[in-house]
């Protein structure tokens, strides 16, 4: 059950990462800082979809 929940949560985070906001940063401190300051960048794929 825990393994399935982890996979589901991972899939949701990846979906958000690809289609909404960029969550992939080399440093976790950078990600936390951006979340706190509400400065997350729009994902590249999201920008490309919006242009079409």
Asked whether 22 and 41 are in contact (CB, 8 A), the reply is yes
Averaged pLDDT, 33-51: 92
pTM of the model as a whole: 0.71
Q: What six digits make up the tokens of 35?
A: 């979340």
Average pLDDT over residues 19-23: 92
pLDDT at 1: 83
Helices (H), the chain: 2-19, 28-36, 44-51
Q: Please name the residue that has the structure tokens 């729009």.
A: 42
Q: Cβ distance 17 to 23 under 8 Å?
A: yes
Q: Is 21 helix (H, G, I), strand (E, B) or coil?
A: strand
């Amino acid at each position: 059950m825990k393994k399935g929940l982890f996979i589901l949560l991972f899939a949701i985070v990846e979906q958000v990462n690809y289609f909404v906001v960029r969550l992939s940063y080399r440093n976790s401190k950078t990600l936390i800082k951006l979340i706190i300051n509400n400065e997350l960048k729009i994902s590249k794929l999201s920008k490309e979809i919006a242009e079409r």
